[in-house]
Chain A
């Protein structure tokens, strides 16, 4: 009898501490998500108030819309290139900064400065640097005898310019995570491998990187989710142009929702984006949670 009362008390306590968080999550995450899901099957214009059920109409419409398809392709290219470059460079920098040397802390602080800046500030600075006529990058190129590059005006170049800005801003984040991972590896492991005659290359590929596998996967997951949502850089640097060269899915959703107030179409585009992000996250999480899947 006493133990039943004790269990009930425990359950009550469990729910009482869980309930506030659960209510907030249901209200702010689950409810909006269900609303967006249901709205995605409707032709809903917020201004006119017109709202009717059209089944998969919005999805059919969006998946044949050239602008959305280009946006999706651009988002994928942007997402994977930035994630790869940031994780690669972050890991390389962490390896360079491994160990103790004079000025390490100053260099580390300097290195992580870009990620402390607001994206809008970063974008404004880079917009000036990228300017075709008066930008610093083209001035340097022309002074060393190379031809100017249309960083933001050449449709083939614009997306890569955005990639460059993101890599500049977020490689420091990858660097910090990898540095934390590296410093958690016991020194003895390396010392033992040196005694066994392992070269630096062998130590890197057979010891360091396999130990850091989870950190790398976590970084890939975080950067993939973040870069898939790219919005502010496009907003501040290119406005989706030139042409549709830097259109992304978030920008598409924003325009449909807050410029045209077509909430049905924007909800459908959001759902497609959500599914893509969830699928990618599942891929990374499965790899992280299952150590046998190397």
Chain B
């Protein structure tokens, strides 16, 4: 072998390695832990099987961590992440700041279109402004919405009809609490901040209360809001004493163990094992629906998580290809069946295989269509913590409903003034 041949082979190797290096793409996803993380892994594995040149680094972070890390990274424009998950009430910050890639342009560039299969109320939240004409900045990774669960067997036992209004719920909670030993009439999350506020909001809205009026001034101490909070505190009397420290695990486990009559705030991901006799003592006994109504219609809280491509990403095309794969009908179905992730497409909710596994799934699409989104504000984290803290103070008896909401209103006004 001459020197010339060796040189030729060496250059060929270099060129080939260059070509293969070009094709290799690594996508970094700032994702969630728990069920969302498992579902993302299912999708990533399926995508990698078809696209061996694309590698992934899926970060499985807590809700707070994913927010902190993405805000710091996107603000500095370093482009660490190629795809990020965003909790719905915080998406406005990302949309307004111009941190996200315009997906309308990406769809146009790729020749693909956004199909109409996504639930329209959910899709509107992915646009800015939040209507069909707004620019698309994200797609719904998970069609999450709060639901209402109750023990149909206990309702039948005590002659209670399916609760149509919140007053019916109060009567049922009282009856079960008094008559069924070892079972709490009701159980919800009472930890200060997000958990307790999330439990309260479906009541708050259906009692006719809202965060602000037409001119943008806070109204969380309106007569309707006070009535809603008094009702909430009345309901809590029929719950466990540990309510102020109860979070997801306590409410979910109580429901599965059969020690809870009504769980007025449950999430689809908690319910994957509700009808599995190996995991649940109440298999086939729990009815899951959208929330009851009061003076206003049923108002489940929309809790979707968006997935978006940061404007600073260096792999936008590859990220977009994965994004369309992730939100496709087939992948959503796969994530439902393998990881119990609630979808955001109408066709997936109607899928026969999914309905056979989760007969209560129509409740999710029903709740999503009736769902209420939290206010679009840059200061949601502050408002949520403030109001959630004061509601807990009312729950533990440190403040009356009026005191808590008057203080919340004054503080929210101060926050909005910033």
Contacts and interface: CB of A to CB of B under 8 A. Distances in A.
Contacts of B186: none
Given A155-B396, A240-B192, A243-B192, A259 B244 contact: no
B398 to A, nearest CB: 5
A162 B385 CA distance: 22
Contact of B242 (A47, A133, A240, A260): A133
B369 interface: no
Interface in A30-69: 45-49, 67
B10 to A, nearest CB: 42
Contacts of B385: 255, 259-260
Contacts of B115: none
Contacts of B240: 132-133
Interface residues of A, number: 27
Interface of B is mostly: helix
Query: Size band of the B side of the interface?
Result: 20 to 34
Contacts of A153: 241-245, 396
A218 B385 CA distance: 39
Interface of A: 45-49, 67, 131-133, 148, 150, 152-153, 155, 238-244, 255, 258-262
B192 A47 contact: no
A45 to B, nearest CB: 7
B184 to A, nearest CB: 9
B392 A242 contact: yes
Nearest to A150: B241
A241 B385 CA distance: 11
Contacts of B392: 241-243
A148 B241 CA distance: 10
Contact of B71 (A46, A150, A155, A255): A46
Given A133-B241, A240-B192, A242-B392, A47 B378 contact: yes
B244 A45 contact: no
Contacts of B71: 46-47, 261
B193 interface: yes
6 contacts: A46-B71, A47-B93, A47-B378, A133-B240, A239-B191, A259-B64
B371 interface: no
A18 to B, nearest CB: 33
B245 A238 contact: yes
Contact of B389 (A150, A155, A244, A262): A244
B389 A258 contact: no
Interface centre among A150, A238, A241 (most CB of B within 10 A): A241
A242 B382 contact: no
Given A46-B75, A259-B381, A239 B193 contact: yes
A125 to B, nearest CB: 15
Contacts of B191: 239, 241
Interface string B360-400: 00000000000000000011011001000100110010100
B381 A242 contact: no
A162 to B, nearest CB: 13
A61 to B, nearest CB: 10
